[in-house]
Structure formats: C-alpha cells, structure tokens
A and B are shown apart, each in its own frame.
Chain A
Amino acid sequence: MAITALTGTRVRERRLAMGLRQSDLARAVGISGSYLNLIEHNRRRVATDVLARLAEVLDTDARVLGEGAGGRVLDDLRAAAASGMATPEIDRLEDFAGRFPGWAGLVAAQHIRLGALDRAVTALNDRMTHDPHLSHSLHEVLSAVASVRATAAILAETDDLTPEWQGRFMANLHGDSERLADGAKALAAHLDGPAAADPVAASPQEEMEAWLAGRGWHVEGATGAELAGMSEAGRDLSLRWLGRLRAGEGLIAAFRDALRPGSTAGLVICDASGTLTFRKPAEGFDLPRFGAACPLWPLYAALAHGRPVEAQVAMPERRFRIRAFAESRWPEGLSGPEVREAAMLIEPSTDDGPALAVGTTCRICPRDPCIARREPSILRE
C-alpha cells in the first residue's frame, strides 16, 4: 500500500472529527504523543503496522488514511476543475482530496453524473432533431394548434361574423381538434413506446415490420387486405417487401430459413449507406430503432469487402453465430449505378470460443473501451 505525504493530515482530520485528543489516540495505538504529533504534521513516515492500528482506533480503512482519495478521484476532480464552472485552487487539489475525501468523492461523483446527464440530454436532443417521424408528428401537432388558435381567435373576436362563416369555422375547429387529438396520441405513443413493444408504428418501415412480426415473419398466404390499417407509405413499402420475400431471390434466398414459421433466427438487411432496411430481431440481439448500428457487426464487413463473412459474436447477454454477405445489382444496366445491399443472419449460439464483442448502437452500448466507438454511451457512468 502506498503511503502518501498527506497521511498524517488525514489522521489528524479523522481524529478531530471523532473528537479525540492527540494523547488519547497515541495511548490507544501504543505510540508516544510526540511521535503522533510528528506523524500528524507529516514529518514522520508512518510504519504500516502503526497505520493499521491508527485505522482501527479511528474506525476507518488503512488505505483511506494511507492513500487518501484515489488517483481516479483526483483525475475526476481535475476534469471538474477544467469544466470552467468556477476557478478552484488546482494547486491544492491533492490537499483538498486528502483532507476531505468524502467531499472530494462527492464532487467527483457529481461531475461524472453531470457528464452522464449532459450526454443523455444530447441523445434526446439528437432524437428530437434527427428523427424524421418525430419531426413529422410535431409538425402535425403544431400545424393543428396553429389552425385552432387562428380559427378560435376569429370566432371569439369577430363580432359581425355571418352564420355561414361561423359554421365554416366551427367545422374547421372540429376537424382540427380531432387532428390534434390524433397527433398528440401518436406523439405520446412514439415518445413512450420502447422499440419492441411500440403499439403505434412510427415509420413506414416500422409499420411493415410490425405487420410481418404479427404474421411470425412468414408471408405465405399474405394478402394486400391485411395492410388496410396502414399509412399509404407503409402499405407501399410492405407490398414491395412482400414481393421481394415471395420472389425469394438473392439475399432473401440465401437466408430464407430465417423467415420460415417458428424460426428464432434474426435477419438484418442494409443498403449501401449502411441504413437498416429490414429488421427481423433475434432474442438477445437488439436492433437499433434510430441511427446507425454497431459498426462491428459482420454485416458491415460483408458490405465493405463484398465477401461472405462468418463469425461468432457476443452481445452483452448472449452469443450468436453470424453469417453475412453482400450483393450488387445494376437495375439500369452495367453502365448505370450499382445498387448494393448486405444481409446478416443472426442465429443463437452455444459456442464458448472466441467471439467478437458487439453491441446495438454506440449510444446505448455499455462496452468500454471499444475500438470502434464513434460516440459516448449514455449508459456509461
């Protein structure tokens, strides 16, 4: 155990906090009062056995007396000092941490907590800013509110409104209030609902995936009539995928087992930008609802290199066997643009061998350190 220059200071602080006289402590520990006095003024190095007895009488841990606040706490205090919120005495940092380890720990912990909250706010802000479906829902609500406000003001403030205009504006108000109620419900469902259990699909892709999940991801016997409750965009997308899944060509053909009744395998397909365009989840392998997925997924290795990839991967809770490959098409002929996709089959694995540690998406991935992390996780403390 390292015994630092401030051990005596910590002994003195602890003794005074307990209301002990120097002579009483010296007697209890079995050393002379003058020796304890030298120790407390950091003028004598404390022997390990004496420190242990001091700690016992002072009802604390010898390491706390010997080492004081750990290097980690000092690092966190320095980081807190660098935040610019105040101008603390940096040159007395170690003295502060040594004299008041409890307060130092609290300041350090609050600095860490503040950082975590900052990241959480950033993540929520990102969601508000970049989620197109949330943005659309907010736009709907604000537009309805704008209309209600303008119409209600006309009704309330126009004394000579003719019955015809009055009826017209009342009808508008009624229509807008219904639209507002629907928009508010959709917004609340979107904000409250976890990805897997969202009762209201927020995007065409989520509508399509919710429909397929309801059918056990099995499209045999599916009809267009089943899509009646969807938005137009959700219906179009579902029909397009229904055609692809039925045709069973290319990527779909290779991994069609994932779409057989009762299959527990997950299947993910992405386009050349890496955007996930098809997400059949596997239990324990969470798929991101928003933003980009974990860059270590073999899906992206297949997409980048164009060759099949087979790998064992470890999610925080479970292991999986992954097979992935990419495919290119030239719908407008070889002189036209290449349309590239990659698919990844996710099967539960019991293999205990080496596995690539992966996550869902950086924002909610607790793995630290991670060689591919692109942004801090909001789950890190």
Chain B
Amino acid sequence: MGHVLLIEDEPNIAEAIRFILSRDGWHVTIYPEGAGALEAVRCVAPDIVILDAMLPGQSGFDILTRMRADPDMADLPVLMLTARGQHRDREAAEKAGVSRFMTKPFSNAEILEQVRLLVPQ
C-alpha cells in the first residue's frame, strides 16, 4: 500500500483517519499545520495528500496552489477536506487543482474509497 500525508490540525480527526487508513494497509504521516506543509510534502514524498482546507499558518487552498506550481508536485493526488461545503470553496479548490473535494463530516468508508480511487494499487 502507499504512503498518505495527512495535513490536518484537528488531532482527533487526524487520529481517526490514520486509524482507518492504517487498518487498510496505508502508511500515514500526519502534519498538523499549514506553515511548512509544502516542505513536509517534499520530505515525505507521499503517494497522496489529504489536505484540510482551514489550517493554522497557511490555508489548504494556498498550499494546493503552490503544490500545483511545483513540477514535482503538480500531479500528486490531493484529497481536500473542508468543513465549509460552500459552492465558492469547491470552486476555489477546483481552480487550485484539487483531485477530490470532501466536506466534513465525512464517512469513514467514503474517505477510504476516495483514497483507493486516487491511488490505484
């Protein structure tokens, strides 16, 4: 299975997602803030990034935009999670180059399914 970088500042959500994915065989690394997230992506070199939209330090939208501007990360699958399911947030995520967009609260099966779809094994 692949390597998931989970950029999420809510520790309990991060723990639940890590548990769900780990049981499915994924290796999960958690990074808890926006500041320095881009460096974390470079260092971890994951197969997929699960990215919260609202993060301390730097928003998920900004991180995604910068990722897409970097040739090394331009094609990396990114699943964005947000508590704001507004149309304009979805548009902003799509404009920034998101691969999939999910609103909180999500179901565990749904997040697992999306990760499996984005990183075929």
Binding site for B on A (CB under 8 A): 129, 135, 138-139, 142-143, 145-151, 153-154, 157-158, 165, 168-169, 172, 175-176
Contact check, A151 vs B105: say whether CB atoms are below 8 A apart. Answer: no
Pick out which of these stretches binds chain A: B14-22, B59-67, B72-80, B113-121. Answer: B14-22
Contact check, B108 vs A145: say whether CB atoms are below 8 A apart. Answer: no
Binding site for A on B (CB under 8 A): 10, 12-13, 15-17, 19-20, 23, 54, 81, 83-84, 86, 104-108
A352 to chain B, nearest CB (A): 50
A-B contact pairs, 17 of them (CB 8 A): A138-B83, A139-B84, A142-B84, A142-B104, A142-B105, A143-B13, A146-B81, A146-B104, A146-B106, A150-B16, A150-B105, A151-B12, A154-B108, A168-B15, A169-B15, A172-B16, A176-B12
Q: List residues of chain B with CB within 8 A of the CB of A153.
A: 107-108
A157 to B23, CA, bound (A): 12
Starting from the known contacts A146-B81, A149-B106, A150-B106, 13 additional A-B residue pairs (CB-CB under 8 Å) come to: A129-B86, A138-B83, A145-B105, A146-B104, A150-B16, A150-B17, A150-B105, A153-B108, A158-B23, A169-B15, A169-B16, A172-B12, A176-B12
A147 to B19, CA, bound (A): 12
In this complex, which of A145, A150, A157 has the most chain B Cβ atoms within 10 angstroms of its Cβ? A150
Contact check, A165 vs B104: say whether CB atoms are below 8 A apart. Answer: no
Q: List residues of chain A with CB within 8 A of the CB of B10.
A: 143, 146-147
Q: List residues of chain A with CB within 8 A of the CB of B23.
A: 158
A146 with B105, Cβ < 8 A, contacts A139-B83, A139-B84 known = yes
Q: List residues of chain A with CB within 8 A of the CB of B105.
A: 142, 145-146, 148-150
